[in-house]
Amino acid sequence: MAGLKLHQLGRERVSYKIDASDPPLLEITGPAEVMVETHDARTGRLKRAEDVMLSAPDFNDAFPKTNPATGPIRVVGAEPGDALSIDVLGIELDEYGFLLAKPDFGLVRNLVNHPIAKILPVRDGMIEFDHLRFPVRPMIGVMATAPVGAAIGTAYCGRHGGNMDNNRIAIGTRVHLPVRVPGASFYVGDVHAAMGDGEVSGTGVEIGARVHLRIQIVKGAARDWPWMETPDLLIQAASAKTYEEASEIAVREMMALLGERLNLSPPDAFMLVSAIGDVRVNQACRSPIDVSVRVEVPKLHAGLRTA
């Protein structure tokens, strides 16, 4: 795919909802490469620690002003039943990000009396956390295609993708999203300089970025839920109100994927996942957002490596 035109899309206009009725900001014909500029989770409004209250989203809103996504991008020729295949080629981070702790958000409550923020410089591949330094681990929190019907806030995750906060959506990963509407209406945003699995406080190192993506259409390849792959892993994503519900969906979806690829019966696929698969938590911070999980199965096992 050498020689693909590189399209550019800035962050001057972002959205807080994934909506098929939004007019496209960019139109591409796949396969194509795009450089998309994204805002941090508070759309650049949190530049000083004392701005934490002024920039806070209201989760009583239908579309809370958090996790802004750049888009939509219309992919000419994408039709319902197809899939978008998105390769993450690069993530270039802004010069600083932020972390939050809030009294009523996260796995551990009431550590603080009011929300507090920590502004973290990012220099030379390292994040500066007061006197501590640790390496960046860039990942993309939001990738989505528009659902049929009602719009979904960018704070939320589901079958359309959305705020998956999946650490595997990083450089070198291919993300597969279902196309539900003509043109797909693709959005991307919510980059983190680093985020632990679980995102236990409700934030990772939230940061603006420029993401370099290759987007192409795979005809007739839509699955019910997003999935990903690296050279060594198949990764199935799912979300639900509880860990148990989300994990069951993800395991069942992985069983179906393995069944198709390896001609396995459901019981055999189930046992294979139990033997070599890992269920990992993407986000579980006791928030209005569903619990998000992933199931990872190595391609190296049982002939799972793909071309």
Quick: pLDDT tens for 175-200.
Answer: 999 999 999 999 999 999 999 999 99
d(CA 71, CA 134): 32
The whole-number pLDDT of residue 115 equals 92
Q: How many Cβ atoms sit within 10 Å of the Cβ of residue 118?
A: 15
Contact at 8 Å (CB) between 71 and 188?
yes
The whole-number pLDDT of residue 303 equals 55
Instruction: For residue 87, name the pLDDT band (cuts at 50, 70, 90).
Output: very high
d(CA 181, CA 71): 15
- Asked, for residue 270, whether it belongs to a domain, the answer is yes
Average pLDDT, the chain: 94
Residues 6 or more apart whose CB falls under 8 angstroms from that of 256 comprise 223, 269
> Residues 211, 233: one domain?
no
Distances (CA, A) of 116 to 52, 197, 205: 6, 21, 14
The whole-number pLDDT of residue 13 equals 94
Instruction: For residue 59, name the pLDDT band (cuts at 50, 70, 90).
Output: confident
pLDDT higher than 50, residue 307:
no
CATH of the domain at 245: 3.10.28.20
pLDDT higher than 90, residue 306:
no
Tell me which amino acid residue 242 is.
T
Mean pLDDT (whole number) for 42-50? 92
d(CA 69, CA 163): 10
- Asked, for residue 3, whether it belongs to a domain, the answer is no
Residue among 82, 87, 254 nearest 174 (CA):
87
The whole-number pLDDT of residue 78 equals 98
pLDDT higher than 90, residue 162:
yes
- Asked, for residue 281, whether it belongs to a domain, the answer is yes
Residues 6 or more apart whose CB falls under 8 angstroms from that of 71 comprise 9, 15, 22, 24, 25, 26, 36, 185, 186, 187, 188, 189
| CA within 13 Å, CB half, 83 | 19
- Asked, for residue 182, whether it belongs to a domain, the answer is yes
pLDDT higher than 90, residue 51:
no
The whole-number pLDDT of residue 260 equals 93
> Residues 204, 242: one domain?
no
* Domain stop point among 163, 196, 218: 218
> Residues 86, 165: one domain?
yes
- Asked, for residue 307, whether it belongs to a domain, the answer is no
Instruction: Give the domain extent around 67.
Output: 8-218
> Residues 136, 282: one domain?
no
d(CA 287, CA 211): 27
Q: How many domains does the chain contain in total?
A: 2
